[in-house]
A and B are shown apart, each in its own frame.
Chain A
Amino acid sequence: NAGVTQTPKFRVLKTGQSMTLLCAQDMNHEYMYWYRQDPGMGLRLIHYSVGEGTTAKGEVPDGYNVSRLKKQNFLLGLESAAPSQTSVYFCASSYSQLGRDTQYFGPGTRLTVL
């Protein structure tokens, strides 16, 4: 039972490079989320999706784009990476937006931008 998986687990980029983080879930969840974790700030929401083909901005969306072409996948893109985007990125999914439905997290991706 894979749950939520993230690819890659680690990545180092140079300023200005681009990359895509892949999140996949096998639980048939409608809702998917991308968070970033920075020291002393907890996790903050970047973008989210309430279903296939739909995306919306979260708390800190600048510099990121997302796509949800398939229900099981949620991609996070960095078009021109900046050192401020050095962080640990978590993907999560849930069956609904209701708090009684657990939000499951992936193992995270540690990204360093030099």
Chain B
Amino acid sequence: AQTVTQSQPEMSVQEAETVTLSCTYDTSENNYYLFWYKQPPSRQMILVIRQEAYKQQNATENRFSVNFQKAAKSFSLKISDSQLGDTAMYFCAFNAGGTSYGKLTFGQGTILTVHP
């Protein structure tokens, strides 16, 4: 069974600064996907970024980037130039692909607050 751990229950950052959210996972699968989802106060789950395990290059989406360390089973999210709208709960999630029927395994979440 896969497990996903987010060890930072809460984080805060000043507007325009950079913040990194941590995530570690455990799996025996060789090919899989990792995700970061954002959940603002509206409760809507929004996909921020995804990384395929076979790709060595770290994924980037505008101000969001990841540091994927496959051997260490680590998948951190870096948010650059933080904005007030980035205030949300962030979830790290794992998908083992075909063997898991697309099921997502989530971490506990990290509440990020961006201060003006």
Chain A contacts to B: CB under 8 angstroms: 31, 33, 35, 40-45, 48, 50, 56, 58, 88, 90, 92, 94, 96-103, 105, 107-108
Chain B contacts to A: CB under 8 angstroms: 4, 6, 9, 32-33, 35, 42-45, 47, 50, 52, 91, 95, 97-98, 100-109
Known pairs A42-B91, A99-B52; A33 contacts B47 (CB<8 A): no
A98 to B33 CA separation, bound complex (whole angstroms): 9
A48 to B85 CA separation, bound complex (whole angstroms): 32
Closest to A108 in B: B43
Closest to B50 in A: A99
User: Which residue from A31, A50, A56, A99 sits with its C-beta under 8 Å from B33?
Assistant: A99
A42 and B107 form a contact (CB under 8 A): yes
A107 and B44 form a contact (CB under 8 A): yes
A-B contact count (CB 8 A): 70
B47 and A97 form a contact (CB under 8 A): no
B100 and A97 form a contact (CB under 8 A): yes
B98 and A97 form a contact (CB under 8 A): yes
A101 to B52 CA separation, bound complex (whole angstroms): 12
Contacts of A94 in B (CB 8 A): 102
B109 and A50 form a contact (CB under 8 A): no
Closest to A88 in B: B43
B108 and A97 form a contact (CB under 8 A): no
A42 and B33 form a contact (CB under 8 A): no
Contacts of A48 in B (CB 8 A): 101-103
A92 to B106 CA separation, bound complex (whole angstroms): 14
B95 and A56 form a contact (CB under 8 A): no
A102 to B102 CA separation, bound complex (whole angstroms): 10
Contacts of A50 in B (CB 8 A): 101
Closest to B95 in A: A99
Closest to A93 in B: B102
Known pairs A48-B101, A97-B101; A42 contacts B43 (CB<8 A): no
Contacts of A99 in B (CB 8 A): 32-33, 35, 50, 52, 95, 97, 102
Closest to B47 in A: A102
Contacts of B44 in A (CB 8 A): 105, 107-108
Closest to B1 in A: A59
